Amino acid sequence: MMSQIQSNIPQRQSLQGNQACALGAIAAGCRLFAGYPITPSSEIAERMSKELPRVDGVFVQMEDEIASMAAVLGASMGGVKSMTATSGPGFSLKQEHIGYGIQAEVPCVVINVMRGGPSTGMPTRPAQGDVMQSRWGTHGDHPAIVLTPSSVQEIYTQTITAFNFSEIYRIPVVVLYDEAIGHLVDTVDLPNPESIKINNRKWADGPAEDYEPYAPDADGIPPMPLPGDGYRTHTTGLTHLESGFPTQVPEEVTRVTSRLLNKIELHRDAIEQYELSCCDDADILVVAFGITARASERAVNNARAGGIKAGLLRLVTLWPFPERILQQLVERASHVLVPEMNAGQLILEVERLCPDSTPVSGVNKFDGDPIHPDEILAKIEELADE
């Protein structure tokens, strides 16, 4: 089924970011999409509603954002890869169910196309104000995986990666990008379907009597039961034992919650993705993601042309934050610059990881316009003069 649709698509296409997201999801094996209309993410739902019937999948527009996240979890618990897409207000509404997905370890993908906030904010304007919400939006201690593509091409590939990570690590994975690249139209090379690496969750396959749905393998990840396969397990958002049934015994809670918190940490090396440009001898290190990383790259190149040793660490994985590479780079860099389309969120994490001796400055903009390369360059030049 999948190859049929893929073969209908020319290898090189002019695509909008949100369209590329939908095609990436289909290629990754997503067969159920539940969503609710919201600017600037609606094109994802629209494209999914067109594509899914052609691959024997299901599209459903639910009654609200909360219900669409619930339906996505329900589908995945039934064994079908699923996704939803939203923006600011909808992302806020989905937080309880993202927490359920983390607690019950339900693989799924949540696309958040960021717009200006808080509240209704600026629906048609780009922003990067959900950096911390994507990490800490749901209540309680919890792990998170958040990916931040910076081009239309990368929206396609990172949507596939998001599905793969969610399946491997049994966690809802958030793909975070802003309105600017969501609505950007660019040339995308769609890989041959056979060449796309697809990961599927581990299924329980032993005898049902011995099976405990939350007993992890050596990798910290428990194989998942498929309803109908005879395991007849219980899934709950309550803190639960390996058996799946709730516990409030302090030692048991510590054990099972620690495993949940550590399972992403354990695989940090496999999850962290980033891109370095001109970093080898960089005195001024720019740390950025998404559309702002593209502006930063231009600024770094222009700075280099002017003789300033600037470099760029572009984060693709936002959470878990690629800590080690940043710490390596700041051993050499004398300044760190964090441009972001918010009042200063990513910078908090960068500051946490930098030694006190390394000054960290921001370029912050939250007026609904992307940050221009010249604004970043001006700051780089200012730092170079110091």
Partner 1 sequence: MSEMAAPLTPAQKSTDQFEIRDYLRLDLFPHFLCPGCGHGIALRALLWAIHDLDIEKDQLAVVSGIGCSGRLSAYIDANTFHTTHGRPLAFATGLKLARPDLHVIVITGDGDCLAIGGNHLIHAARRNLDITCIMLNNEVYGMTGGQVSPTTSLDRFTTTTPLGNQEPGFDACALATGAGATFVGREVTLQTTALKILMQEGIVHRGFSFVEVISDCTEIYGRKNDLGSSPEMVLSQKRSVLPKFDGSAVDKPFRAGNWDTGVLLRKERPEYYEAYRAHCHRVLGDGKSK
Q: Is residue 205 part of the contact set for partner 1 (CB under 8 A)?
A: no
When asked if residue 30 is in the footprint of partner 1 (CB under 8 A), the reply is no
| Least separation in angstroms between CB 56 and partner 1 | 5
Which of 36, 100, 177, 274 touches partner 1 (CB under 8 A)? Answer: 100
Segment holding 161, helix H or strand E: helix 152-169
Mark the segment that binds partner 1 (CB under 8 A) among 95-103, 147-155, 304-312, 332-340: 95-103
Greatest alpha-carbon span in the chain: 70
Q: How many CB atoms lie within 10 A of CB 12?
A: 10
Q: Which of 23, 32, 111, 291 binds partner 1 (CB under 8 A)?
A: 32
User: How many Å apart are CA 135 and CA 6, to the nearest integer?
Assistant: 34
* 56 phi and psi angles, rounded to 5 deg: 70, 25
- Interacting residue with partner 1 among 238, 270, 343, 348 (CB under 8 A): 238
* Choice from 229, 272, 351, 381 touching partner 1 (CB under 8 A): 229
Stretch that binds partner 1, among 96-104, 193-201, 302-310, 313-321 (CB under 8 A): 96-104
We find the least distance from the C-beta atom of residue 232 to partner 1, in angstroms, to be 6
Site string for partner 1, 327-366 (x = CB under 8 A): ----------------------------------------
28, 30, 45, 77: which one binds partner 1 (CB under 8 A): 77
Among 86, 233, 296, 345, binds partner 1 (CB under 8 A): 233
34 binds partner 1 (CB under 8 A): yes
Q: At what angle do helices 17-28 and 152-169 cross, to 10 degrees?
A: 30
- # residues near partner 1 by CB under 8 A: 46
From the number of C-beta atoms within 10 Å of its C-beta (0-12, 13-18, 19+), residue 254 rates as exposed
Whole-angstrom distance, CA of residue 69 vs CA of residue 88: 14
3-class SS of residue 147: strand
User: Which pair of structure tokens corresponds to residue 306?
Assistant: 């002017």
Binding track over 282-311 against partner 1, x by CB under 8 A = ------------------------------
How many Å apart are CA 371 and CA 252, to the nearest integer?
48
Cα separations in angstroms, 131 against 121, 273, 341? 16, 16, 10
Q: If binding is defined by CB under 8 A, does position 78 make contact with partner 1?
A: yes
Nearer Cβ to partner 1 (26/287): 26
* Residue 64 touching partner 1 (CB under 8 A): yes
Residue 75 touches partner 1, criterion: CB under 8 A: yes
Neighbouring-strand partners of residue 60: 34
What tokens were used for 14?
Answer: 């002019």
Which residues are registered as beta bridge partners of 328?
none
Picking from 19, 18, 52, the residue whose alpha carbon sits closest to that of residue 33 is 52
The binding site for partner 1 (CB under 8 A) comprises 4, 31-32, 34, 53-54, 56-58, 60, 62-64, 66-68, 70-80, 82, 96-97, 100, 225, 227-238, 245-246
